[in-house]
Amino acid sequence: MAKQPDLGTDNPTEALTANQPTRVGISISLKVSKKAVIRNRIKRQIRAGLREFLPRISQGWDLVFIVRPSAVECNYRQLLQELEQLLAQAEVLNGDSRGSLL
């Protein structure tokens, strides 16, 4: 996870990118599951979970989630808890690292 540059820089290119919204990428390999249906379901669940956290996420972050094989065994509620925990550990949530959605 990387923070995009602040507005207070002298470089105009960096000033333009600071106003950008948070960008998210999800990487899920064949090691998680050989079946595309399962991989796509996990990606859809992660995207839905991130939509719930989006209002609480600071702007200007580039987030990349790498899915581990144990994600196949998680249900949606567990996935939400893991996402919230990861975002809190990375201090991406708006000063609310201890709050809970569930």
So what's the pLDDT on residue 102? 45
So what's the pLDDT on residue 70? 93
**Alpha helices (runs of H) in the chain, residue ranges in sequence order:** 12-18, 36-53, 76-89
Asked if residues 54 and 94 have their Cβ atoms less than 8 Å apart, the reply is no
Whether 97 has a pLDDT exceeding 50, the answer reads no
**How far separated are the first and last CA of the chain, in Å rounded?**
24
Asked if residues 52 and 101 have their Cβ atoms less than 8 Å apart, the reply is yes
For residue 17, what pLDDT band results from cuts at 50, 70 and 90?
low
Residues 6+ apart with CB under 8 A from 8: none
C-alpha to C-alpha distance for 51 and 54, rounded to whole angstroms: 5
